[in-house]
Amino acid sequence: MSAESTVLLMPGGNSGLKRMRGIATGLLVLMLVLFVVASILQARFPFLAYLRAFAEAATVGASADWFAVTALFRHPLGIPIPHTAIVPRNKQRIGEALGRFICNNFLAPEAIEAKLERFDAAGWAARWLSEPGHAELVAERLSGALPLMLDLVGHERGRQFARDMIRKGIDSIAVAPMTARTLSVLMKHGQDQKLFDLALEVGAAYLSQNQDAIRATLSQHSSSWVPEWVDARLAAKLISGLSATLAQMRDPAHPLRGEFQTAVEKFIRRLADDAELYEQSERIKAEVLDNEVVESYLDWLAAEIETWIATDSAAADSLLLRGLQHALQVTAKWLEEDERIRAAVNQSIRNAVLTTVVPNRAEIGDFIASEVARWDSRTLVARAENQLGKDLQYIRINGTVVGGLVGLIIFVAQRIAGVH
């Protein structure tokens, strides 16, 4: 417990309470002094009888209210008078009542739902993160906590978690639809034609660099009675014809380019719609993920990520820190600008609260009751007095003034009745 909180828990630790207690007590002493002085001088100065009546009744009122206020928290003057020290004697009942009150009034389903309906949690978070320095602060806390969390959970468990996350992330991606979308984007930007050009370049380069091998292969598959010079002429014609065809296909208007584009578009439609191709791609993905080489790579990747987090978090110019900061800023802007997303996030928060807090509100009430019961009496009295004591001192002051006025009115009424 901090020094500040200790002071606040001590009786009189609250400066406002201490001041008001001094005023109320001082007023009681003043009334007592006035009563004594007026009683002594009343015979000499008869008009002091009115002051004496006021001071007498005010002293009684102040004393009664002092007793009542003190009896709430402790035994007056340390005397164990019955029905005093009410708060510490009823600590268990106070805790149970407080727990029930919070459960029935603050944690009731209709109360929480109504409050959450009015509370724009996502909007508040977005506005808070958008304020200067807030995203940086959260990013610093998160990046600084990651190495500590890794140490806490253990390196082996951390790597296993990272590996499982990577594997689940890959496994959650449907290969066929993702490939179809990727190819569609590439085609939209003309990358299919660039791929066609690349294939032409590779084919032309192969023909140019492997002419001897092509001649030898053709000669091996030729009949034995065909002269070698004929094979050589045929090979040269074949290479020349293929090279010329490849050169012609560089023309953007060449028909084969259109046929290639049509074939790619057809393949994209198959990837998007063909259930058999979808299942086949998923089987291939599963086989790849179950491969020992891939398992080893995932282990290596998880270890690399762990090492990188530990190293980068300690760096002055941390990529992780900058990445988290940017992600938080982008998220805040996204939530502010997109009302639909903001509403969805708020709904998720409401659902989370309603499915976690409300069903367990009885346990929350029991926890509050047990916590209050666990407090020692001095702590409970100090907390209650610091919350209520200042207002209770006003009761003492009001009791002094009101008591004095009532006593004065009664005294005047008696005088009038005596005169008439």
Q: Which amino acid is at 134?
A: H
Total structural domains within the chain: 2
Quick check: is 49 in a domain? yes
Q: Are residues 285 and 373 in the same domain?
A: no
Q: What's the confidence (pLDDT) of residue 419?
A: 53
Q: What's the confidence (pLDDT) of residue 11?
A: 41
Q: What's the confidence (pLDDT) of residue 13?
A: 47
Q: What's the confidence (pLDDT) of residue 238?
A: 80
Token code pair at residue 64: 């009664």
Quick check: is 83 in a domain? yes
Quick check: is 340 in a domain? no
Q: What's the confidence (pLDDT) of residue 10?
A: 41
Q: What's the confidence (pLDDT) of residue 36?
A: 93
Last residue of a domain, one of 303, 325, 358: 303
Q: Are residues 287 and 374 in the same domain?
A: no
Q: Are residues 181 and 295 in the same domain?
A: yes
Taking a C-beta distance cutoff of 8 angstroms, is the pair 246, 252 a contact? Answer: no
One pLDDT digit (tens) per residue for the chain, 420 residues: 333 333 334 444 467 778 888 898 999 999 999 999 999 998 889 899 999 999 999 999 999 988 888 888 888 878 888 877 777 777 777 778 877 888 777 777 777 777 778 888 888 888 898 888 888 888 888 887 777 777 776 667 777 777 777 778 777 888 888 888 888 888 888 787 888 888 888 888 888 888 788 777 777 766 666 667 666 777 788 888 888 888 888 888 888 888 888 888 888 888 888 888 888 888 888 887 777 777 787 778 777 877 777 787 777 778 888 888 888 888 888 888 888 888 888 888 888 887 887 777 788 778 887 877 777 777 777 777 777 777 888 888 998 999 999 999 999 988 888 753
What's the number of CA atoms in the CB half-sphere (13 Å) around residue 335? 22
List the one residue out of 180, 207, 329, 334 whose CA is nearest residue 264.
Answer: 180
Residue 271's domain comprises: 175-303
Neighbours of 150 (CB within 10 A): 19
Quick check: is 130 in a domain? no
Quick check: is 117 in a domain? no
Q: What's the confidence (pLDDT) of residue 221?
A: 66
Q: Are residues 216 and 294 in the same domain?
A: yes
Q: Give pTM, 2 decimals.
A: 0.42
Q: What's the confidence (pLDDT) of residue 74?
A: 81
Last residue of a domain, one of 303, 328, 355: 303
Quick check: is 123 in a domain? no
> Helices 255-273 & 275-289, crossing angle to 10 degrees?
80
Quick check: is 106 in a domain? no
Last residue of a domain, one of 252, 272, 303: 303
Quick check: is 32 in a domain? yes
